[in-house]
């Protein structure tokens, strides 16, 4: 490729690990990824010749960022379902289940008057502040005002369907001004869930979805009590998914969170509409909602990503969600068979490419491919020196001579191959292993030294 003809802003050099399919992670050792001014990946060179690196190093205006020994670049992890406003409540759920949790912990915590720093997701101003905050921080985000004109306390309910729609449109217009091309921040239509939305509101939002082309996110079949409630509120619908479908809310631009108890009919409908699923294993365990059958959904060809569902989920970490996805799948395998188990590779696929596809960003982020954008983590682990060097992998031998990421929860003893190193990261890692984060080519975070 004639790389001289384009402006290479940054060249990342080292080991890159990403998903090439659901079951396979590819490890690109001693490679280089060149990124342009706009954050787009122009070149993936593996392995990279030393002479090429020397040539690039001489080019004015080009920065080289190298991963050290024991470090690797990984695509940015994607959270497809989080309630920003619930973050202050993380970890507080007691022994509640969904419906009493909402009334006891969730609705009261979002009172805008309680603390001005809490984003009240039903509130236009606070939703717009959240969008601005994400944009300023350089985050990629779909930000939705939570629509609810039914079944919530008076202090936390939209006055009526018309007001709810009007406020939703205000938020959409705000995002369109904030980020006209939707490069980082976009608005997303957000009916909270069927029990808190009137038929009229859901239909209005379905129409707005068709007209605006925006994504839509909601909850589905999270909890048995919720499903019974939906059946009693919408007797004309044969199941939960049909409630959304009748309103025009099920399309390939719809993100359905949880989907723990979908019936065969509902799975067929979701598949037919091309809607996507956000699997929220931490929340599903915390609120005793159940264990979603992810393998079944994947086998049907339904696109699945991961959601932290803070604060139904106690952690904002997508790595934790990926880890718990593998744990949940092991419980599912006890009744559904071995094939239900998700591997390390599969969990990390869901956290990256799966999540990207859920949000319609599969051509933009989720892997290191030419044409995609540089959304990446630099991951580092801790080296524990060992006399007995027995591994043949050069990179890992090198890792023995240096501390990859300072003190982290992932200890490497030097004998691990890349597969083992990634497994250790998934099961024991946390933000101490995240040395740097980039979004669209911009560094948005660096671990303090
Ligand atoms: N269903 C309706 N609202 C919520 C919420 O805030 N969190 C979760 N987990 N499920 C919901
Ligand atoms: Fe949720």
Looking at the structure, tell me whether residues 351 and 209 fall in a common domain.
Answer: yes
Any domain includes 363: no
- Among 325, 358, 391, the domain-final residue is 358
Structural domain contains residue 176: yes
Q: What's the CA-to-centroid distance between 195 and ligand 1, angstroms?
A: 11
In a domain, 420, yes or no: yes
Residues 24, 99 within the same domain: no
Nearest CA to ligand 1 atom 9: 312
Is residue 162 located within the same domain as residue 13? no
350 within domain boundaries? yes
283 lines ligand 1 (CB under 6 A): yes
In terms of domains, do 244 and 334 share one? yes
Same domain, 326 and 407: no
Whether residues 346 and 373 fall in one domain: no
- pLDDT tens by residue, the chain, 449 residues: 444 445 668 999 999 999 999 999 999 999 999 999 999 999 999 999 999 999 988 888 899 999 988 899 999 999 999 999 999 999 999 999 999 999 998 888 654 433 333 344 689 999 999 999 999 999 999 999 999 999 888 888 999 999 999 999 999 999 999 999 999 999 999 999 999 999 999 999 999 999 999 999 999 999 999 999 999 999 999 999 999 999 999 999 999 999 999 999 999 999 999 999 999 999 999 999 999 999 999 999 999 999 999 999 999 999 999 999 999 999 999 999 999 999 999 999 999 999 999 999 999 999 999 999 999 999 999 888 665 554 556 665 555 445 556 789 999 888 999 999 999 999 999 999 999 999 999 999 999 88
**CATH code, domain with 134:** 3.20.20.140
Same domain (yes/no): 65, 92:
no
Q: Give the number of the ligand closest to the Cα of residue 121.
A: 1
Instruction: Give the global pTM.
Output: 0.94
Ligand nearest to the CA of 307: 2
Judge if 196 and 251 occupy the same domain: yes
Residue 372 lies in a domain: yes
DSSP, collapsed to helix, strand or coil, labels residue 27 as: strand
CA of 51 to the centre of ligand 1 (A): 55
Residue 296 included in any domain: yes
The range of the structural domain enclosing residue 113 comes to 84-358
The reply to whether 171 and 230 lie within a common domain is: yes
Least distant ligand from the CA of 122: 1
Same domain, 37 and 113: no
> Is residue 148 in a domain?
yes
Do residues 153 and 30 both lie within one domain?
A: no
Are 39 and 111 members of one domain? no
Does 222 sit in the ligand 1 pocket, CB within 6 Å?
yes
Q: How many domains does the chain have?
A: 2
CATH code of 12's domain:
2.30.40.10
């Amino acid at each position: 490729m004639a790389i001289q003809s384009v402006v290479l802003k940054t060249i990342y050099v080292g080991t890159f690990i990403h998903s090439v399919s659901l079951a396979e992670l590819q490890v690109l050792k001693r490679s280089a990824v060149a990124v342009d001014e706009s954050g787009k990946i122009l070149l993936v060179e593996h392995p990279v010749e030393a002479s090429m690196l020397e040539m690039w190093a001489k080019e004015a205006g080009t920065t080289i960022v190298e991963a050290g020994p024991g470090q690797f670049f990984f695509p940015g992890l994607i959270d497809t379902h989080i309630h920003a406003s619930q973050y202050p409540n993380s970890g507080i759920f007691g022994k509640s289940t969904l419906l009493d949790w909402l009334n006891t912990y969730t609705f009261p915590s979002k009172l805008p008057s309680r603390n001005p720093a809490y984003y009240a997701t039903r509130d236009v101003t606070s939703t717009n502040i959240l969008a601005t905050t994400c944009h300023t921080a350089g985050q990629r985000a779909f930000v939705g005002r939570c629509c609810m004109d039914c079944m919530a306390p008076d202090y936390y309910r939209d006055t009526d369907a018309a007001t709810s729609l009007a406020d939703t449109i205000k938020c959409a217009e705000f995002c369109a001004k904030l980020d006209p091309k939707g490069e980082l921040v976009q608005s997303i239509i957000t009916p909270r869930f069927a029990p808190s939305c009137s038929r009229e509101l859901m239909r209005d939002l379905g129409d707005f979805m068709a007209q605006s082309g925006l994504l839509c996110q909601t909850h589905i079949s999270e909890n048995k009590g919720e499903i019974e409630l939906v059946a009693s509120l919408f007797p004309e619908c044969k199941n939960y998914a049909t409630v959304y479908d009748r309103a025009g809310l099920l399309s390939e631009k719809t993100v359905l969170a949880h989907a723990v108890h979908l019936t065969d009919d509902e799975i067929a409908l979701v598949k037919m509409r091309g809607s996507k699923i956000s699997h929220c294993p931490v929340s599903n365990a915390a609120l005793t909602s159940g264990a979603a059958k992810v393998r079944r959904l994947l086998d049907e060809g339904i696109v699945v990503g991961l959601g932290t569902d803070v604060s139904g989920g106690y952690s904002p970490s997508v790595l934790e969600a990926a880890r718990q996805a593998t744990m949940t799948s092991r419980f599912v395998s006890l009744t559904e068979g071995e094939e239900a188990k998700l591997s390390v590779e599969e969990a990390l696929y869901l956290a990256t490419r799966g999540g990207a596809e859920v949000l319609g960003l599969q051509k933009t982020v989720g892997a290191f491919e030419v044409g995609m954008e540089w959304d990446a983590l630099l991951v580092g682990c801790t080296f524990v020196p060992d006399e007995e060097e027995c591994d043949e992998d050069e990179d890992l031998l090198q890792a023995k001579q240096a501390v990859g990421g300072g003190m982290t929860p992932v200890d490497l003893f030097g004998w691990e191959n890349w597969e083992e190193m990634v497994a250790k990261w998934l099961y024991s890692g946390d933000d101490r292993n995240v040395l740097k984060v980039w979004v669209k080519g911009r560094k948005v975070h660096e671990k303090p030294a």
